[in-house]
Amino acid sequence: MARKMGVTRRDVVAAGLAVADADGVAAVSLAAVAERLGVRSPSLYSHVDGLPGLRRALAHACTVEFGEVLRDAVLGRSDEDAVRSFSHAYRSWATTFPGRYDLTLTPIDPDDAERRDGARLALGAIQAVIRGFGLEDAEAVKAGRSLRAAMDGFTRLENLDVIGRGDHDAEFGFLVDLLVDGIRAAAGIPATS
């Protein structure tokens, strides 16, 4: 099928991301994307393989974008500074783009090398943070998963607006302090006063 003049795959992905950002992942459909682009839904098939292809393209784009944000946040940092920078970058991106954040959590097909490569950006950022404490092997995996789980839990509750009333910035700072102290303890590094 011929492509409509001026509409590219990049346009389709950008429109899909705009739908996810505005209305959530559940609202992402070929019809919603086509409406944003001013085209008919069937014309999208020349750019993506139906709704599954659209969602996969969106998940890949978001995973890479998020991974780059996290990578840049820890670049040149170590120890406590890396944890704090990673945590604040994670929260900022995930709460600014809740639809995109949800898309990063889309399970990756084992045969999807492109998405796995994109996910390695975020994993590399987490590993860089943990390596800065000297943790290796199983302890590094536990610390990395704990850091990710804490970030996901806080931002997900915040995005769903079910975290409760209070000073969320202060509460997040407290969580990050707990994580820093916990990772330092796991690495056998004395706590700072």
Residues 97-104, mean pLDDT to the nearest whole number = 95
pLDDT at 193: 58
Q: In Å, what is the CA distance from 62 to each residue of 89, 101, 150?
A: 15, 7, 20
Provide DSSP, 21-46: HHH-GGG--HHHHHHHHTS-GGGGGG
Is there a domain that residue 191 lies in? no
One domain, residues 180 and 103: yes
Above 80 in pLDDT, residue 1? no
One domain, residues 103 and 124: yes
One domain, residues 44 and 60: no
Instruction: Dig out the tokens for 48 from the structure.
Output: 């993506």
The domain tally of the chain equals 2
> What range does the domain containing 158 cover?
56-186
Above 90 in pLDDT, residue 190? no
**pLDDT more than 90, % of the chain:** 87
One domain, residues 40 and 78: no
Residues 4-27, mean pLDDT to the nearest whole number = 90
Q: What is the mean pLDDT of the chain?
A: 92
Above 90 in pLDDT, residue 192? no
Above 70 in pLDDT, residue 2? no
Q: What is the domain-level CATH number for residue 152?
A: 1.10.357.10
One domain, residues 68 and 143: yes
Distance CA 144, CA 131 (A): 10
One domain, residues 38 and 123: no
Above 50 in pLDDT, residue 20? yes
Q: What is the domain-level CATH number for residue 27?
A: 1.10.10.60
Is there a domain that residue 8 lies in? yes
Residue 88 CA, distance from chain mean position: 13
Cβ-contact 27, 55 below 8 angstroms = no
Instruction: Tell me the per-residue pLDDT of 104-136, one tens digit each, with 9 for 90 and over.
Output: 999 999 998 988 988 999 999 999 999 999 999
Residues 23-37, mean pLDDT to the nearest whole number = 95
Above 60 in pLDDT, residue 86? yes
Higher pLDDT, 15 or 118: 15
Residues 87-111, mean pLDDT to the nearest whole number = 95
Above 50 in pLDDT, residue 65? yes
Model-level pTM?
A: 0.90
